Amino acid sequence: MNACSAGKTFVAKRLPEAVSAAETDWLEILALYDLLGMVAPGPMVTLNRVVALAMAVGPGVALTEHAACADDPALLGHHRIPAIRAHLLELQGDLGAARADYLARFHVRRADGLLLSGAAAFIALWQVMPGWRWLGRFAMLPGITPVLELLYRGFLRLRPGIQRLVRAVDTSHLPASFVGDLRSDHAGETGAVWIYRGMLWATRDEAVRAFAAHHLHTEMQHLEKMSALLPPLRRSWLLTGWRVAGFATGALPALFGRQAVFSTVAAVESFVVQHYQHQIDALAGQSSHAALRQVLVDCQSDELDHRDEAQAQLAQSPGWLLAAWCAAVGRGSALAVTLARRL
């Protein structure tokens, strides 16, 4: 028997001599692992020493050594790394952080206190669940448990991508009937950002540029709020079209001067104020969605300011051509909302 095997066997024989973990002489076990680390060093010896250190000295010191183990290339991705760290955090009383590490792999603590993870944890659970015991017995057949563990580790590699996909479509925090409305809001704020970018591109009028820059900042804040509410895969598929349409809606009037710019903004914002009002009214009295309603109220308040500021800048009533353009902008906004709700 080589030194490594002899050392491990000696440590294993010393552990059962204690009735419980509390009665184990952990200082002796720690000394044995120190000796084993000198005669037969290896990543598993180091990791086991961390556990003994936690029991003998305390989890704080052990967590520091565990961090060094986690950086060891030989232990990179090893399933015991999060399991041991979770155990140390639990000993330290940091149950929130321990829970996060335990969830890195599936864990089950048996009635005798033994902590199992991965496939072994699933098997232990199946063995006590009515209707699943047959699967637990099957998993204990020779060669089955290692295969299940390999499959589970493969799943763990895929899990982050699956979780990102779920988050990208999850709208459980929203009223079911409101997803389409918020999609139109997100599309509308996207278009608004590009309206002001179009103005800034097309004009050299300092008053118009100052007006557009100020409103662009506000609309970008609105877009951030809508992006936070609506997950990526629930947003409109036509966002590229809304950017192009918004840019054109801002750039074209900017080429014709202040009157055209302010008339266009007043027309757009008048529609947006009404659009938000319909949603605000629909959420009235729904205390569970008070935060969502407040977001809409805040956005509407800004849009009202934009509309009033644009109207105050108008030197005269728009002529028939500009009035026709503004009417077209209003109808186009309504069509965009209808499309965005569905697409």
Mean pLDDT, rounded, for 8-25: 58
Q: Where are the domains of the chain?
A: 3-104, 176-342
Q: Please report the pLDDT score of residue 251 as a whole number.
A: 94
The tokens of 194 are what?
């590009």
3-state secondary structure of 142: coil
Of 78 and 332, the one with more pLDDT? 332
Unique residue bearing structure tokens 């973990």: 21
Over 90: is that where the pLDDT of 297 sits? Answer: yes
Strands (E), the chain: 107-109, 115-117
Q: How far apart are CA 262 and CA 325, in angstroms?
A: 12
Instruction: Report the C-alpha gap between 88 and 104 in whole angstroms.
Output: 15
Q: Closest Cα to residue 5, out of 25, 29, 65, 13? A: 13
What does the pLDDT read at residue 183?
A: 92
Condensed to tens digits (0 to 9), the pLDDT of residues 183-206 reads: 999 999 999 999 999 999 999 999
Per the listing, tokens 């503004």 go with 326
Q: How confident is the model at residue 41 (pLDDT cuts 50, 70, 90)?
A: confident
Q: Which of 35, 27, 41 is nearest to 10 (CA)?
A: 35
Q: What is the pLDDT of residue 13?
A: 54
What's the pLDDT band for 287 if we cut at 50, 70, 90?
A: confident
Question: 3-104 with 176-342: one CATH topology?
Answer: no
What's the pLDDT score for residue 98?
A: 77
Sign of the dihedral defined by the CA atoms of residues 86, 173, 219, 183, in that order: positive
b/e per residue 150-163 (b: at least 16 CB within 10 A): eebeeeeeeeeeee
C-alpha span between 125 and 21 (Å, rounded): 24
Q: Are strands 107-109 and 115-117 parallel, antiparallel or unpaired?
A: antiparallel
> pLDDT of 144-186, one tens digit each?
988 998 898 888 888 878 878 877 777 887 887 888 899 999 9
Q: Is 158 left (phi over 0), alpha (psi -120 to 50) or beta?
A: alpha
List residues bridging with 341 in a β-sheet. Answer: none
**What average pLDDT is seen over the chain?**
85
Query: What's the pLDDT score for residue 21?
Result: 64
Q: How far apart are CA 226 and CA 182, in angstroms?
A: 7
Q: What is the assigned CATH class of domain 3-104? A: mainly alpha
pLDDT (tens digit, 9 = 90+) per residue, 66-99?
887 777 777 766 667 777 888 888 888 888 777 7
Give CA–CA dist 334/328, Å, rounded.
10
Q: What is the CATH number of domain 176-342?
A: 1.20.1260
The reported pTM is: 0.63
By 3-state DSSP, what share of the chain in percent is helix, strand and coil, each rounded to 5?
80, 0, 20
